[in-house]
Amino acid sequence: MTDILLTAPMPAVERGLESRFTLHRLWQAENREAFLAQVGPRIAGLAISSSGGRLDDTLLAHLPALQIVSSFGVGYDHVDLPAVTARRLVVTNTPGVLTEEVADLTLGLLLTTLRQIPAAERHVRAGLWPKGGFPLSPSLRGRKVGILGLGDIGLATARRLEAFGVEIAYHTRTPRSVPYAWYESPVALAGAVDVLIVLTPGGDATRHLVDTAVLTALGPDGVLINVARGSVVDTQALIEALTNGTILSAGLDVFEDEPRVPQALIDMPHVVLLPHIGSASMVTRAAMGQLVVDNLVSWFDTGKPLTPIAETRGFLA
Ligand code: NAP
Ligand code: 8YV
């Protein structure tokens, strides 16, 4: 049977692969170097997720027979692209199957942040309601929402926002054929809106795209929602902007050094913090796991993966 290495626990993936492949679980190895020295030369397929660490030369050097990398999740900033492309490896991700789920979470996080729902809930649980009502909150009414990164999830989010009756604008490097106003830069977009939703990929190209200039342009009534990657937002600049009143509030599903969250953010009661749960429903995680499995099966059966990332499509016949 073909040997597959998994870098992190992925129950649905393991269940889907185990009858067909020989699985090797890297996180269970007591001595990682010895384990890789033993099984590495046999590994033909790799199943990874961002929680399994970065895929770079250090691991790839142990896997000379590797043909394909099947990654759990649509974002693949945990993959060192020069390292995989130098080896002409095919990499797949899981686009599409999580789009609607993540857009749902994005809308939930936006409303939760604006209407202060977690703080209001804490008010009831703490028995404070009989002593006084909860303070009035900011609102989505009358706002203009900017989406930084209008791809699959950005578009699904925009479709939902249309039903909420708010004006929508966006920035991408290439304008799209959509009925929303395009702005030529993140700072221009932030200056035109009072909610900024970040939905770009992570990685070097988008690192700290949201910086002090963007937050200043967003303004004192502005709300930042980040469901993309922590690296897209300059955390120190954000903490300063929230502390100084440069912006009003933020809802964050992702963090630069997750799962560690800066204490300064934890100490801000009006900021909503989630543990990277954009796609984390049972049904969607199962669909993502199935696509990781299907990519490997399709590759080893037909030589064609189902959802290769753009950067490695050129390696396919
Ligand atoms: P997608 O369809 O590839 O969309 C990415 C969008 O970002 C495109 O519109 C792209 O347009 C834009 N973009 C890329 N680089 C940019 C840049 N430098 N400046 C401005 N815009 C840029 O991806 P998706 O499926 O919507 O997913 C987006 C991201 O969401 C993922 O990569 C992942 O990091 C994140 N995500 C998070 C969760 C979560 O649980 N929180 C779940 C799923 C996904 P242009 O190429 O024209 O610029
Ligand atoms: C996953 C995500 O939770 O798809 C993505 O890009 O961020 C999430 O859906 C994550 O990738 C799991 O490792």
In SS3 terms, 19-82 reads as: CCCEEEEHHHCCCHHHHHHHHHHHEEEEEEEHHHCCECHHHHCCCCCCCEEEEECCCCCCECHH
CB of 45 sitting under 6 A from ligand 1: no
Contact (Cβ atoms closer than 8 angstroms) between residue 22 and residue 65: no
pLDDT of residue 177: 98
CA of 153 to the centre of ligand 1 (A): 7
Helix axes 152-163, 99-114, angle to 10 degrees: 50
Contact (Cβ atoms closer than 8 angstroms) between residue 309 and residue 73: no
Residue 303: both structure tokens together: 């030589």
Q: Which of 7, 48, 55, 74 to mutate to test the pocket of ligand 2 (most atoms within 8 A of CB)?
A: 74
Q: How far apart are CA 66 and CA 69, in angstroms?
A: 8
- 39: phi then psi, degrees, rounded to nearest 5: -95, -20
Residue 215 has pLDDT above 90, yes or no: yes
pLDDT of residue 5: 98
CA of 266 to the centre of ligand 2 (A): 23
pLDDT of residue 52: 87
Residue 25 has pLDDT above 80, yes or no: yes
CB of 284 sitting under 6 A from ligand 2: no
Catalytic residue set: 229, 258, 276
Core vs surface per residue 16-26: b (16+ CB within 10 A) or e: bbeeebebbeb
| Ligand 2 nearest-atom number relative to CA 102 | 9
Categorize the per-residue pLDDT at 38 as very low, low, confident or very high, splitting at 50, 70 and 90: very high
Q: What is the pTM of this model?
A: 0.97
Whose CA is closest to atom 35 on ligand 1? 228
Categorize the per-residue pLDDT at 115 as very low, low, confident or very high, splitting at 50, 70 and 90: very high
pLDDT of residue 317: 74
Q: How many CA atoms lie within 13 A of 87 on its CB side?
A: 22
pLDDT of residue 60: 98
CA of 108 to the centre of ligand 1 (A): 19
